[in-house]
Amino acid sequence: MGEREELIRIRSALEKSVGQKVRLTAKKGRKKAVVRHGVIEETFPSIFTVKLDNTIEQLPSSSRRVSYSYTDILTKVIEIAKC
């Protein structure tokens, strides 16, 4: 399967998962990874957003959002697992 088709498959899978809780594992360099929990909030043509769970992350009371591109999943910079 070509990269373009794979990106389309990733995007459609995330569109179906909007509103579901997920665990994000983001690779931050050699042997370092950050695990976050949140809810897939929206999908856009090139990126998707995740609203992080404040209770687990111990963040300030304001909600925090992160965005990633579909290419990040394809290149395995981040991994997403449903909770």
Rounded Cα distance between 27 and 45, Å, is 23
| Burial category of 64 from C-beta neighbours within 10 Å (exposed 0-12, middle 13-18, buried 19 and up) | middle
Q: What is the pLDDT of residues 5-37, one digit of tens each?
A: 999 999 999 999 999 999 999 998 888 999 999
CA distance to 23, 27, 68, 73, per residue, from 30 (Å): 20, 8, 20, 18
Full residue range of the structural domain in which residue 60 is found: 3-82
Structural domain count, the chain? 1
The SS3 call for residue 37 is strand
**Whether the predicted pLDDT of 76 surpasses 60:** yes
**Whether the predicted pLDDT of 56 surpasses 70:** no
CATH code assigned at 34: 2.30.30.100
Rounded Cα distance between 74 and 1, Å, is 12
The pTM assigned to this predicted structure is 0.82
Return the pLDDT at 30: 86
